[in-house]
């Protein structure tokens, strides 16, 4: 009797632990979000890279695109650099220094509350962790 009880408790604890671990991992999924006015419902990694490196200044469907970055050095920005840009923080900084010298290009604006910014700014695109996402306020273009 006692042994069966103990076994069931261990199993329950394991299920709870694994469930919690899975939820934590999902929390840090990177959601690429866009303002509801953005003329896109999805975006590939290459397309997003071209928006955020300002190689492309218009949405594929037309209209100016406004990329918004999380503050440099933040966990969110690092995740975006690694998953979408395939760059480290210093490589991205080098890129913007070099682009300034080549073409005078200015890097995208940085904002800490990206979700709020994308909600308010027409044609903007940014990213957020799933744990910070509130459904329905913006569009999700991709998940990495």
Partner 1 sequence: MRALITIILLGGLATARPVSAQAQTPPRPAPATPASTPVAADNEALQRKVAAQRKELDAQRKRLDALVKNQADRENRARKVDKQVKHLAEAREADELAKLQKLQAGTSKRFKPSFRLFGFADFNFIKRFPMKDDQFGRLILSDAASFYMLSANLYAVSQITRRLSTMMELRFTYQPHGDADGFEVHLKNGDNITVIDGPTFNRVDRTFTSKVSGQSATEAGVVIERLHFDYQVADWLKFTVGRFLTPYGIWNIDHGSPVVLSATTPYLQRSQIVPSSQTGILISGRYFLTDQLRLDYGVTLTNGRGPMDAVQDVDDHFAYGLRLRLLYESRKFKIAAGAYGYYGRLKDQKGNLVVDMMTGEALSSFDTIEEKDEFIYSVDLLVEAYRFRLQGEYAYRYTRYRSPSVPFGDDVANLATGTSGDGLPVNYYTHGGYLMLSYTVPLRLWGAVRRLTPFVGYEYHQARDVEPATTIWRAGLNFRPLPALVFKGQWEGLYSDVLGDVHKMTLQMAVAF
Nearest-approach distance from CB 96 to partner 1, in angstroms: 8
Judged by beta carbon, residue 24 or residue 134, the one nearer partner 1 is 134
Nearest-approach distance from CB 30 to partner 1, in angstroms: 16
Judged by beta carbon, residue 31 or residue 115, the one nearer partner 1 is 115
Q: How far apart are CA 31 and CA 94, in angstroms?
A: 25
Nearest-approach distance from CB 45 to partner 1, in angstroms: 8
Diameter of the chain measured on Cα atoms = 77
**Tokens representing residue 121 in the block:** 């700014």
Nearest-approach distance from CB 140 to partner 1, in angstroms: 18
Strand order in the sheet with 30-34: 109-110, 66-69, 124-129, 30-34, 139-143
Site residues, partner 1 (CB under 8 A): 44-47, 50, 55-58, 60, 64, 66, 68, 86, 88-91, 93-94, 96-98, 100-104, 106, 109, 111-113, 116-117, 120-124
Residues 6+ apart with CB under 8 A from 4: none
């Amino acid at each position: 009797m006692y042994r069966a009880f103990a076994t069931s408790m261990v199993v329950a604890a394991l299920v709870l632990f694994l469930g919690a671990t899975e939820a934590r991992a999902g929390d840090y999924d990177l959601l690429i979000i866009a303002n509801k006015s953005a003329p896109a419902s999805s975006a590939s990694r290459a397309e997003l890279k071209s928006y955020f490196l300002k190689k492309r200044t218009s949405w594929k469907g037309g209209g100016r695109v406004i990329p918004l970055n999380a503050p440099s050095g933040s966990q969110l920005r690092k995740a975006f650099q690694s998953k979408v840009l395939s760059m480290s923080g210093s490589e991205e900084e080098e890129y913007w220094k070099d682009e300034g010298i080549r073409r005078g290009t200015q890097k995208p604006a940085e904002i800490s509350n990206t979700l709020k910014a994308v909600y308010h700014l027409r044609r903007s695109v940014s990213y957020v962790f799933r744990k910070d996402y509130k459904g329905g306020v913006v569009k999700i273009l991709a998940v990495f």
